[in-house]
Amino acid sequence: MQPPYLKYMGSKRSMLQNGLGELITREVEDCSRFFDLFAGSAAVARFVGEKFPVPVVANDLQQYSRVLAQAILHRVHPLKGAEIWTAWDARASKKLNAALDAPRDFRTASDIARHREWSARQIGYPVTQSYGGHYFSAHQAMAFDAYRSTVSDDVVIGSVEIAAIIIAASQCVAAPGHTAQPFQPSATGIKFISEAWRRDPHARVRDALMGLAERHAKVIGEAHSADANELVLNTKRGDLLFIDPPYSGVHYSRFYHVLETIAAGECGEVSGNGRYPSREQRPKSDYSLKTKSLVAITNLLEKIAVQGASAIVTFPDAECSNGLSGEQVREVAHQLFRVEEYLVQSKFSSLGGRSDGQNAQAGRSARTNANEIIFTLRPA
Ligand SMILES: C[S@@+](CC[C@H](N)C(=O)[O-])C[C@H]1O[C@@H](n2cnc3c(N)ncnc32)[C@H](O)[C@@H]1O
């Protein structure tokens, strides 16, 4: 079965097949623990956890990332996916009775409006109330709520189930690859909305669950939602740290709040076209502030140097919208470590941010061809 992966714009999944996987394979051999400090989709943490007998510690400011990582890292045995699915689907089906009168058509702008109106009335169904008729059809949103509210009380199984909903939702979302802005029901937008809303949430949740259930780590690891600059104080000589920090001048939490709602199982008031929760409820990062990003990365690398750990850092070889550039990362790294570097071709998403600050004009997917530098840092 194909490994189930999150639809996530900044994922290192393809780079793992393009040099990064080989490099990690070489470096991980002698390390005592592997840290993925900015785990995002958890692609790298999962790659290492599934392949090597080394404890993996995954970390990200966002909760959904922790859930995705722990679904694999907290187990060293496969789960019985089919049994778990049958029981879970039966529990969720009962909840779905509440969706019997949900609108089904989505051919016109008035159909879409009916999805929005119906969804807004579904108190106690956070995905539906906040995002139904926007990112998901009313039925898709109700299905995600039904699965989310009936996850197992068993912590290990429950986290695999929540991870499956997060993955399924990322694949169904009617948006260009993240959840900053749903497609709107304009003459051209309707086509994209109906493409996304036709995706079957049940089949996607089932497939993600089955794929996750058969995978597991070689040894038990950890998953955290913390500031990387704090967590790094727990590292020591012998640890290998993977560092893929933000390069966007817009906070990541603006793009992945739908997944965060599913992870948390609740959502506050949302507003605007993007249906964002208020700023106070979204994690902020110094790495996404032009005035603080250089201090943040410098401070991180200094701490790693003091702890005596080794690291692999990836960064686009360009000036990024958070004001950082590959050149600046290189300068800081050379002051603190013995450094080797490699260049790989990649397509990175600016996540709608632009280095000239004109974020509103960046276009929705804003994917840019750029080389990515991989630095290996060893204690000096
Ligand atoms: C470039 S993405 C990482 C992508 C990831 N390597 C993958 O393969 O999916 C950067 C991540 O850093 C997280 N982040 C931002 N500031 C952080 C901080 N101070 N500490 C930990 N994580 C942070 C963001 O939430 C985002 O998921």
How much distance in Å is there from the Cα of 254 to the middle of ligand 1? 13
Q: Note whether 60 and 112 are same-domain residues.
A: no
Whether the CB of 41 sits within 6 Å of ligand 1 = yes
How crowded is residue 278: how many other Cβ atoms within 10 Å of its Cβ? 10
pLDDT of residue 375: 97
In the chain, the percentage of residues whose pLDDT exceeds 70 is: 93
pLDDT of residue 4: 81
pTM (predicted TM-score): 0.93
The full DSSP string for 269-323 is -EETTTTEEPGGGS---GGG-TTTHHHHHHHHHHHHHHHT-EEEEEEESSB-TTS
Whether the CB of 248 sits within 6 Å of ligand 1 = no
Whether the CB of 35 sits within 6 Å of ligand 1 = no
Q: Note whether 100 and 160 are same-domain residues.
A: yes
Whether the CB of 170 sits within 6 Å of ligand 1 = no
| Ranges assigned E (strand) in the chain | 33-36, 56-59, 222-224, 239-243, 270-271, 276-277, 310-316, 337-349, 367-379
Q: Of 187, 213, 239, which residue sits at a domain end?
A: 213
Q: Which tokens sit at 315?
A: 């960064």
**Domain assignment of residue 282, yes or no:** no
Question: What's the sign of the alpha-carbon dihedral 334, 353, 179, 107?
Answer: negative
Whether the CB of 16 sits within 6 Å of ligand 1 = no
Q: Of 213, 240, 258, which residue sits at a domain end?
A: 213
Provide mean pLDDT across the span 254-259: 90
- How sure is the predictor about 253, in pLDDT bands with cuts at 50, 70 and 90? confident
- Among 363, 372, 359, smallest CA distance to 321 is for 359
26-40, 82-96, 176-190, 300-314 — which is least confidently predicted? 176-190
Residue 277 has pLDDT above 90, yes or no: no
Q: Note whether 52 and 156 are same-domain residues.
A: no
pLDDT of residue 360: 39
Provide mean pLDDT across the span 230-234: 98
Is residue 158 packed enough to be buried (19+ CB in 10 Å), middle (13-18) or exposed (0-12)?
Answer: middle
- How sure is the predictor about 154, in pLDDT bands with cuts at 50, 70 and 90? very high
Q: Note whether 65 and 18 are same-domain residues.
A: yes
**Domain assignment of residue 1, yes or no:** no
**Domain assignment of residue 181, yes or no:** yes
Substitution site in 38, 46, 288 for ligand 1 pocket (most atoms within 8 Å of beta carbon): 38
* Amino acid identity for residue 31 in this structure: C
Over the stretch 295-328, which tens digit does the pLDDT of each residue have? 999 999 999 999 999 999 999 999 999 999 999 9
Over the stretch 46-97, which tens digit does the pLDDT of each residue have? 999 999 999 999 999 999 999 999 999 999 999 999 999 999 999 999 999 9
Q: Note whether 121 and 170 are same-domain residues.
A: yes
| Domain limits for position 193 | 81-213
Greatest extent of the chain over all pairs of C-alpha atoms, in Å: 66
Q: Note whether 121 and 31 are same-domain residues.
A: no
- How sure is the predictor about 330, in pLDDT bands with cuts at 50, 70 and 90? very high
Q: Are 127 and 138 within 8 A, CB to CB?
A: no
**Beta-carbon-side half-sphere exposure of residue 32 (alpha carbons within 13 Å):** 7
pLDDT of residue 146: 98
Residue 358 has pLDDT above 50, yes or no: no
Distance CA 62, CA 70 (A): 13
Whether the CB of 11 sits within 6 Å of ligand 1 = yes
Q: How far is CA 340 from CA 30, 80, 209, 311, in A?
A: 17, 44, 39, 11
Q: Which tokens sit at 20?
A: 């990064």
Q: Whose CA is nearest to atom 4 of ligand 1?
A: 40
Whether the CB of 40 sits within 6 Å of ligand 1 = yes
Tokens 């490699």 belong to residue: 342
How much distance in Å is there from the Cα of 79 to the middle of ligand 1? 28
DSSP state, 88? Answer: H
Whether the CB of 8 sits within 6 Å of ligand 1 = yes
Mean model confidence pLDDT for the chain = 92
Q: Note whether 199 and 339 are same-domain residues.
A: no
Provide mean pLDDT across the span 262-283: 87
Q: Note whether 228 and 370 are same-domain residues.
A: yes
CATH of the domain at 316: 3.40.50.150
pLDDT of residue 368: 57
